[in-house]
Structure 1
Amino acid sequence: MRKSAVLLALMTTTVLTGCYHYPIPAPCPAIAQATVVSVTVARDYTAQVGTLHLKACQGGVCKESDLELFAGSDSIDQGCTPEGGCSATASPNGTRLGMLMLDSLTEELMDLTATGTAPDGSALPVRTLEFRPRGAYPFGEHCGRFITASVNLDANGLRQSDPE
């Protein structure tokens, strides 16, 4: 009996100190990365854009398509309850968003060309950009690296989006 009590105390101490010294990382979200180039048309430029066509080339492979543009929005924090439930709502911000689906996406240099038409049918200026998609660990290194390719389009042309 005495040996059992000592053994139980030793195992409990080992388990408790083991947890203290070796924290378990937070679980990874069950989401897949989308291999896309996303374009945000600036609020003050949306009235000049009727259609938008995007061509992206990376590693000798090019993909292009007309983009479906949809209304952009900002997330407005609605706060959290004492029980820990949090919420947010979307508020239109005047931008328009489009995405070009790719077969793959790496951190290798990418050449991007945007063309399109104004609402009156006239051609928009051809805009080009060479940039490097960004890699990050938004959910921790144990969850893997996510690569994003996001650009902004305005009257001055294309530019890589700032990291958030």
Structure 2
Amino acid sequence: MRRLRTAVTLGTALLALAACGTGGGGAGRECTLIGSMPGLSVVVPAPEGARVASAHLRVCWGGTCQEPRLELRPTSKTVSTGCDGDEPDDACGASASPDGGMSGFAHVEGLPKTSVKVTLTLRDAQGRKYLGKRVDVTPKTTFPNGPHCGEGEPQAVLTVANGQITPR
């Protein structure tokens, strides 16, 4: 009997804890347990994306530096494949089509919400340096569930176009 009471008490506590984790952070909205990773996204749109085979990042702040893994992958655009008809319940389709760009995300543990120095190096298929520049970037807080659910981790985006890096 004692084990049954312990199990019931533990089960009730776990249910209460689970309910607390999914409760709305404000205004009656539900907040999921989705989070965000601290890091930097790199986007190299076409036509420059076609030249890039690899990328390397160095991120420095507060006297320390990290060189996170950054793997670029081809980007795509959505292309309609048409609809079965014109009625609201008719099915429509779409497919992804490569657009000549490349993008990737580098997880940077401990990334602050203050200015960091980022060196981005891009290389072509022969291993030749295509771009090597340093920029100052200030990562911004993310809100993966919306602002009503609290802050996520800081992130920033680096876009490469015409040989320049634009932080956002």
Shorter-normalised TM range = 0.5 to 0.7
Aligned AA (2:62): G
Aligned AA (2:162): A
Q: CA RMSD for the aligned pairs?
A: 3.1
Tell me how far 1:67 sits from its aligned partner.
2.2
Aligned AA (1:128): R
Q: Is the 8 A contact 2:27 2:148 kept in 1?
A: no
Corresponding residue for 1:159? Answer: 166
Matched, 1:96 2:102: yes
Unmatched 5+ stretches in structure 2? 1-25, 83-87
Within 5 Å, give how 1:13-52 maps onto structure 2: 24-52=27-55
Distance 1:66 1:31, change over 3 A: closer
Q: TM-score, normalised by structure 1?
A: 0.66
C-alpha distance in 2 between matches for 1:88 and 1:142: 33
| Residue of structure 1 aligned with 2:113, choices 87, 101, 107 | 107
Q: SS of 1:55's equivalent?
A: strand
Unmatched 5+ stretches in structure 1? 1-22
Tell me how far 1:37 sits from its aligned partner.
0.8
C-alpha distance in 2 between matches for 1:76 and 1:160: 28
Tell me how far 1:76 sits from its aligned partner.
7.2
Corresponding residue for 2:140? Answer: 134
Q: Is the 8 A contact 1:51 1:66 kept in 2?
A: no
Matched, 1:150 2:157: yes
Q: Is the 8 A contact 1:128 1:157 kept in 2?
A: no
Larger radius of gyration: 1
Q: Is the 8 A contact 1:64 1:100 kept in 2?
A: no
Higher mean Cα deviation, 46-55 or 117-126? 117-126
Q: TM-score, normalised by structure 2?
A: 0.65
Aligned pairs, number: 135
